[in-house]
Structure 1
Amino acid sequence: MAHPFPLKVVALQAGVSIATVERVLRGGAGVHASTVRRVLQAQEELARQSVQVGLSGKKFMIDVLMVAPQRFTDSVRQALEAQLSSLHPAVLRSRFHLHETLEVERIVELLERIRKTGSHGVLLKAPDLPQVADAVAKLAGAGIPVVTLVTDLPGSQRSTYVGMDNRAAGATAAYLIGQWMGSARQKVLVTLSSNRYHGEEERELGFRRALRERHRNISIVEVSEGHGIDGATGPQVAQALLEHPGLAGVYSIGGGNAAIVGAFAQAGRHCQVFIGHDLDADNLALLRSGAIHAVLHHDLGQDMCRACQDILRAQGALPPLPLQQAQSLSAIQIVTPWNLPALAARQ
């Protein structure tokens, strides 16, 4: 049976041999289930990116490795694929390695596999751990630039960081909560997906510092390690509500907002102010319903465009930016139900 893409193209996209692709297409006998999934995913990625594959110009393969809730990685995938045509005449294809949770050993294994398979660059969202930094150093040594997304690895040999100023974002959340909650003594719940992410740590530091400087009446209760997943975050919040009857607000740094809203409702508690991050499908629905009050958002399309341009610059396919034109961090947008961006408003 004819297949829409050459075997060697599917093999490159999947990061496996041509022989493995042939076995999968013949039924997958003797091939590990995860490898079969990788080949099938490669075909899906090629189908979405097929408009790009036919364009003239030098072709580049980039790998996207993210450890984040699916609602966010879906948004990143869509934003990246929407930007590919804007990078003409260069042609970029992308391979995705997206996981909601992943042990550091598996992250390192994936980065090592990317290094051995070959890549023109890696877009990475991963915890700030020494093992990850070591793997990034190996990629850099092999001439594969790494651009960190949303959360940085500041002590590593990554090429650039693309995302907002997370400390400023935390301070912005503190300002909004302070304005809405007034001068009475109040408690706010701060939720993180994990303490291992530099970006989340920076948001929390900015939030705490701003409260300490301007809103000393507001104290913090923190929960962490729910990985931004509803099933893990909900019980943590329910327990915090049980232990702290004075909780009146939420700054959700790590996500799982539907579960947080549900925990408040189940406990029969009113959330006076709720600030979240990222305008994903969940947060869009929660904003429209009034369950959350504001979202700190950054334009993922612009971020993806910049990340790809950074990789092209590292590969010499674009000229370096003059020092006076060095790219700044992503703008922090405060989104409420009344100023939804045009694309989100149509969803």
Structure 2
Amino acid sequence: MGRPFRIRDIAVQAGLSETTVDRVLNGRAGVSVRARRQVEQAIVDLERQQSQIRLGGRTFVIDLVMQAPARFSSAVRAALEAELPGLRPAMIRARFDLTETATALELVSALDRIRRRGSHGVVLKAPDVPSIVAAVDRLVAAGIPVVTLVTDLPTSRRSAYVGIDNRAAGTTAAYLISQWLGPRPGNVLVTLSRESFRGEEEREMGFRTAMRRFAPSRRLVELPETEGLDETMHALALSALNADPALVAVYSIGGANQAIVNAFTTLGRDCAVFIAHDLDADNTRLLASGHLSAVLHHDLPTDLRRTCQAILQSHSALPGAPHSLPSAIQIVTPHNVPTHLP
């Protein structure tokens, strides 16, 4: 495999011992397939972050742990890696544990592994359930600060939450749908990936409360637990559309928007207004094609920069104490898509 980086750097990036890394690099026996994959991925990560490795200053290694569809976690990863070189004079390197369908137990195991091997901080997107809150508290007790991203764990000992005000985002979606539908009759499909994601729950609560005020006669049809995956969403959306011929608008909280568009197309139905979240590659394309009316977006590079700054503040490497600060909600239509996206 060669030695493009120091064994120590690879070991830290992979979360393995230097002895194990040495065995992998030299093709020795007694090494698991998983360890070999971890070393291979660590080298890939280090190559992506070479500009950071060349910098001077104190070195921090942080862990990004996310349960999210790959289209979103890859956008977050790209935004984080793009921000790392600008955080001088500190040198921050990132490790990644990204999954689409992990159980709470699997996420807890991932967090406990980080606690045992050590880290300077964890950036976390995970469901708000007691076992994950307890795992976060164990990390903090071990001196590892945690910053929640996009969806919060407010009862945990996390240092800060970075992301939009999700209740305000839901209210904004309700306002746009009620304004754009106007007097046209019809109901609204509301989709979530998981009800245990507090951010999604707050968006849904804000949306439902505002719709009662803006358009009390419209029925809201909710699709929970879709996982935000196209293969799950398509069948659920088809079923909902068949059950309610009056569905004419969508507020997609949890994603898988191409599958929703396909369901409308399959049935030859018109979607008058479609509001989604986040300018990932899928949503950018759906905006350009006119299938999405608007995307509620927040600037990921700014969010990831604030996240890293909060971790540095936790270690007194930057002045001030880490604190939560809501991100600005950007309403992006097909006519004002940002030209530079992570």
TM-score by length of 1: 0.95
Q: State which of 336, 341, 346 in structure 1 corresponds to 2:333.
A: 336
> What stretches of structure 1 of length at least 5 have no aligned partner?
none
2:36, 2:272 → 1: CA distance? Answer: 48
Pairwise CA RMSD: 1.5
Stretch of structure 1 that moved more, 65-74 or 224-233: 224-233
Alignment-derived partner of residue 89 in structure 1 = 89
The whole-number CA distance in structure 2 between the counterparts of 1:266 and 1:186 is 19
1:32 & 1:259 partners in 2: Cα distance?
38
Tell me the equivalent position of 1:300: 300
The equivalent of 1:108 in structure 2 is 108
Structure 1 residue aligned with 2:39: 39
Contact 2:2/2:25 (<8 A) preserved: no
In the alignment, the residues of structure 2 paired with residue 24 and residue 321 of structure 1 have an alpha-carbon distance, to the nearest angstrom, of 41
CA distance in 2, matches of 1:206, 1:35: 45
Give the aligned residue type for 1:123.
V
Measured against aligned partners, the alpha-carbon deviations of 1:317-345 in whole angstroms (never above 9, x if no partner) come to: 011159xxx6631000000010111214x
Asked if structure 2 preserves the Cα contact closer than 8 Å seen for 1:189 and 1:220, the reply is yes
User: CA deviation digits over 1:286-311, x for unaligned, max 9?
Assistant: 00000111000000000000000000
Moved over 6 A (4+): none
The one-letter amino acid paired with 1:148 is T
Conserved? CA contact 2:160–2:324, under 8 Å: no
The structure-2 alpha-carbon separation of the partners of 1:144 and 1:19, relative to structure 1 and needing over 3 Å to count, comes to same
Aligned residues: 342
Residue 182 of structure 2: aligned partner: 182
2:204 corresponds to which letter in structure 1? E
Shift of 1:27: 4.4
Q: 2: distance between equivalents of 1:40 and 1:234?
A: 35
Note the alpha carbon deviations across 1:4-43, whole angstroms, 9 max, x for none.
1111211110111122223333447543333322221111
Q: Report the AA paired with residue 338 of structure 1.
A: H
Equivalent pair of 1:184/1:217 in contact (CA under 8 Å): no
Contact 1:181–1:273 (8 Å) recurs in 2: yes
Bigger CA drift: 57-66 or 184-193? 184-193
Report if aligned partners of 1:8, 1:18 keep a CA contact under 8 Å in 2.
yes
CA contact (8 A) 1:28 1:36 kept: no
Contact 1:59 1:91 in 2 (8 A): yes
Give the SS at the match of 2:60.
strand
Q: Unpaired runs of 5+ in structure 2?
A: none
Given that 2:162 and 2:324 are in contact with CA atoms closer than 8 Å, whether structure 1 keeps it comes out as no
Match for residue 319 of structure 2? 319
CA-to-partner distance for each residue in 1:89-143, whole Å, 9 max, x for gaps? 0000000000011011111111001001110000000000000000000011011
Paired position in structure 2 for 1:118: 118
Contact 2:163 2:325 (C-alpha < 8 Å) held by counterparts: no
Answering whether residue 70 of structure 2 is matched by residue 70 of structure 1, we say yes
**Deviation of 1:268 (Å):** 1.1
